[in-house]
A and B are shown apart, each in its own frame.
Chain A
Amino acid sequence: MSNAVTALNGAKYSGLIDIADAGLMGMITLRGDLASAAMAKVVKSITGAKMPKPRGVEIAGKGSVAWMSPDELLIMIDYAYADSAVAKISSALAGEHHLAVNVSDARAVFDLSGDELRDVLAKGSPSNLNPDSLPIGEMRRTRLGQLAVAFWFTDDSSAKLVCFRSVGDHVFKWLSNAAKPESSPNFYSAMR
């Protein structure tokens, strides 16, 4: 098998926040009826997580599940497990209208951390990053600059960000530029 590498290939930047390649992550886009019991069951068996509420991210031992739209989930698991998980979903949901695709190699994933994180993201996104509007564990699909991204906070000062692989390098440069030292608007970080 070929040697899988991420779009960012281990890139790192440290400034207002720390930006790092999150490494290989197994990702499956699953579309279908989110109210289906069979879907909840197979999602639980793959990740250990229950079905997320709208905009929620459920994190469990084996993986996590994020609500992407009223008929779409993003399942995040070990990279090596993604293909067999897709096969598992397809057999569990046979006969139900659904779509499951392994998108692990079609996305770039970032680990972001730092106290100024909300300020840095707010430089490029029109989303309301106030912790009351975007609490920890809530998925926010939005744009960063002119690119579609999705991010969610895993604790007070860290988040994961996902974008298309083809624009991974651009998003890295964009975030690095936005995180230049002494460039913080000190809006959200002053609230902390």
Chain B
Amino acid sequence: MLILTCPNCGIAADETELHADGQAHITRHGAGASDDDLEEYLFMRNNPKGVHFERWRHVYGCGKWFHAARCTMTLEVFGTYPAQTLEPPKDLVAKIKKKRPDWEGFVK
């Protein structure tokens, strides 16, 4: 069971109250982008064993999007943060780095 705290309404929401939407912080290349950029945007996803940054929506609650950092191997949740950002907050990255010294760091 996965419980994420929605930063928009403060509810510690059960996984069944949320909707997952894959990798966060993707640059959305649009019309006029090069083939390589478009391919990257559409198909290329990081899939490390360990720390992931994901988009979630509190679909049965406040209906808002947010981001979560968690480990896909241990299911440990490092934290959640608002979606209005291009990269994870520095203190969260530092916290993960402390817990996972071998982690390569945030990769876009």
- Hey, which bits of chain A sit against chain B, CB under 8 A? 54-55, 68-70, 72, 126-128, 140-143, 148
* Contact for B64 among A69, A142, A143, CB less than 8 A: A69
* A68/B12 in contact, CB under 8 A: no
The 7 A-B residue pairs whose C-beta atoms are closest, nearest first, are A126-B14, A69-B62, A143-B60, A141-B61, A126-B16, A70-B8, A148-B60
In contact, B10 and A142 (Cβ under 8 angstroms)? no
Query: How far apart sit A68 and B63, CA to CA, in the bound complex (Å)?
Result: 9
Which residue numbers of B lie inside 8 Å of A, CB to CB?
8-14, 16-17, 60-64
Count contacts between A and B, CB distance < 8 Å. 37
List, in ascending order, chain A residues with CB within 8 A of B62's CB: 68-70, 72, 141
Majority SS at the chain A contact face: strand
Q: Which residues of B contact A143 (CB under 8 A)?
A: 16-17, 60
7 A/B residue pairs, CB under 8 Å, sorted by A: A55-B10, A69-B61, A69-B64, A70-B8, A70-B9, A70-B62, A141-B9
Q: How far is the CA of A148 from the CA of B62 in the complex (A)?
A: 11
User: Would A126 and B9 count as touching, CB distance under 8 A?
Assistant: no
Known: A55-B10, A70-B62; 4 extra A-B contacts, CB below 8 A, are A69-B8, A126-B14, A126-B17, A127-B17
